[in-house]
Amino acid sequence: MMLTLFAAGSLKSAFLPLLDRFRQDSGIDVVVQFGPAGLLRERIEAGESCSLFASANTQHPQALLAAGCALEVHSFAANQLNLTARVMPATDSADWLSLLRDPALTLGTSTPGCDPSGDYTWQLFDNIDAQYPGTGAAIKQRAKMLVGGRQTLTVPEGEIASAWLIRQRLADLFIGYAHYSQALVGHTDIRTLAIPQPYNVRCEYQMALLDAQPVARQLMHFILSAQGQHFLREAGFLTLDGK
């Protein structure tokens, strides 16, 4: 028995150990493909076989449900955004907003439309603009969509996009998911900065059940279970209990 899971790339650190445990407990093999959720949704809509789709937003699962491609959808985790910066004299003492405002610093992002991380980042810029008119728009105009698109850079296996882009001198700053900061603790050449309210964005993760087989539903319930939520929490995600 084998299932196919399409999952947002940001879920890799949580889902790899989660799926190992699911295989051990159930004896069911799961083939997982990670990628930008918007592009994964396009593959599903084009007819690729998929039992369960775990997205970094609600929009893509809800669209599949509305189109009759999904049987049901469930929220299973949440995230926020943060800022990763190169450690250098120009960034050492500046706060997150001062860094984003600095036109001398190259700001990298993911790609809106193709990747929910890019959509959330553009929402962040709009939130900044609501507090400081013109500022968010100016930051948005400078932002470089470096990953998460159809023809953007491919981050090497095992690398975190923010750290890799900064170390490759392709960006000085990167806006990405906050759970990655857990894996970057102790790195001396980069630092992560929290983005406070009312600017930050709640990134709600939702999955769509696409296969009526009981084993597909079994995997969905495992992700929603206390055991599945443990793996998400350990990887730095906000879970259904609000922690």
Average pLDDT, the chain: 96
The model's confidence at residue 28, banded by pLDDT at 50, 70 and 90, is: very high
* pTM, entire model: 0.95
69 and 97 assigned to the same domain: no
199 within some domain: no
Which distant-in-sequence residues (6+ apart) come within 8 Å of 163 by Cβ?
A: 84, 184, 187, 190
How would DSSP label each residue in 31-82? EEEEE-HHHHHHHHHTT---SEEEESSSHHHHHHHHTT--SEEEEEEEE-EE
Q: What is the pLDDT of residue 215?
A: 95
10 and 54 assigned to the same domain: yes
107 and 187 assigned to the same domain: yes
Q: What is the pLDDT of residue 92?
A: 85
Q: Which of 155, 102, 92, 149 is nearest to 163 (CA)?
A: 155
CB burial of residue 93 (10 Å; 0-12, 13-18, 19+):
exposed
pLDDT per residue as tens digits for the range 14-23: 999 999 999 9
CATH code where residue 41 lies: 3.40.190.10
The model's confidence at residue 197, banded by pLDDT at 50, 70 and 90, is: very high
Tell me how far apart the alpha carbons of residues 222 and 5 are, in angstroms, rounded to a whole number.
13
Measured from the Cβ of residue 221, the count of other Cβ atoms closer than 10 Å reads 12
Tell me how far apart the alpha carbons of residues 80 and 90 are, in angstroms, rounded to a whole number.
25
With pLDDT > 90 as the criterion, what percentage of the chain qualifies? 95
65 and 152 assigned to the same domain: no
243 within some domain: no
Q: Which of 7, 192, 169 is nearest to 83 (CA)?
A: 192
Confidence check: pLDDT of 243 > 70: no
pLDDT per residue as tens digits for the range 97-139: 999 999 999 999 999 999 999 999 999 999 999 999 999 999 9
Count up the domains in the chain and report the number: 2
208 within some domain: yes
The residue to which tokens 């940001």 are assigned: 10
22 and 42 assigned to the same domain: yes
* Full domain range(s) for residue 54: 2-78+204-234
139 and 55 assigned to the same domain: no
Is the Cβ–Cβ distance between 94 and 86 less than 8 Å?
A: no
Average pLDDT on 196-213 reads 96
